[in-house]
Amino acid sequence: MRITTRREFLQAAGAALMSASLPTLVGAEESWSSGTERPAFRLPEGAIDCHMHIYDDRFPVAPGTTLRPPNATVAQYRLLQARLGVRRNVVVTPSTYGTDNRWTLAAIRQFGDNARGVAVIDSSVGDAELQNLDRGGIRAIRFNLSYPGAATLDMLAPLAARIANLGWHIELVVQGARLPELERHLSALPCPLVIDHIAHVPQPGGLSSDALRTARRLVDRGNTWITLSGPYVDSKTGAPAYEDVAPVAKTLIDMAPERMLWGTDWPHPTQKTDKPDDASLLDTIAGWIGRPDWQYLIFIDNPAKLYRFA
């Protein structure tokens, strides 16, 4: 039975969370993800993966970029979609390509109406290009301050002012330890803010960190979202439970489930070896959320509104 409504999801969620692992999906041995079985948690129809990347060596890498993963294609990601049971996704331009968003736009066209995108731009962008990106499905711009990139901190305020009228938001990737020094810039943004990868709250000691206190203040102001993705980046205890990151994620979820998102971070570009098991990772994050009504918010409602899905 396909679950298509909030009521049907809430009715089925309790049983789905307690069910045994589903059978292995034959042929779903996609690259860049360990494991082959489906998740025990059953995503509701219409769930949205808010953070994934496509890589293609036909496009030149940006000068000075340090993160250069192998190709990760639309076809490979579709295998992961089938395994997880997710049809809608947000393609994020990686730092690898600087401000070249051509491959992101091409990927969105291949996915069709089921995809939106996050672009990387700099201060030289023209109004016509912004309109073209909007027509191509772009709904946000990304500032990756963890790696050298085209978008720098001094561009944050002026670019935020330009995209606000488009209904876009800022997506930020930065070391959690830097959040306190950035707080005044982030709280003044005229558009929504999404902080990726559970705000990169550092471990150990995440619960008592200035990074988490800052993230909580930003979320509490009502204009900041957190993406529940990539716990392996900051965890010291590791998979499958990520016991150090879990309390941080649960703290953020409990204070504002209406401003949490979920993403796979496929193809896990920071993990050169030992790629995570995406099915196990989904089960872990769904367990952190716990409540079926919050799961529906985080997997469907929140991202559908923010990225303007139908």
DSSP per position, 123-154:
TT--HHHHHHHHHTTEEEEEEE-SS--S--GG
**Active-site residue, 196 included:** no
Q: Kindly give the residue spans of alpha helices, DSSP state H, lying in the chain.
A: 6-18, 74-84, 102-111, 127-135, 156-164, 179-187, 210-220, 245-255, 278-289, 292-296, 302-306
234, 244, 265, 283: the catalytic one is: 265
Q: Facing residues of 261 across strands?
A: 227
Phi/psi at 192 (5° precision)? -60, 155
Indicate the residue type of 78.
R
Residue environment code for 52-84, b if the CB has 16+ CB neighbours within 10 A, otherwise e: bbbbeeebebbeebebebeebbbebbebbbebb
CA angle at residue 144 from 123 to 90, to 5 degrees?
95
Classify residue 222 by burial, with Cβ atoms within 10 Å: 0-12, 13-18, 19+: exposed
For residues 310 and 308, give the distance between their C-alpha atoms in angstroms, rounded to a whole number: 6
Closest CA to 278 of 298, 297, 263: 263
Consecutive H or E run containing 95: none
Q: Which of these, 9, 116, 99, lies nearest to 61 by C-alpha position?
A: 99
Cα 114–Cα 116–Cα 121 angle in degrees, nearest 5: 165
Q: Specify whether the CB–CB gap between 116 and 137 falls below 8 A.
A: yes
Catalytic residues: 265
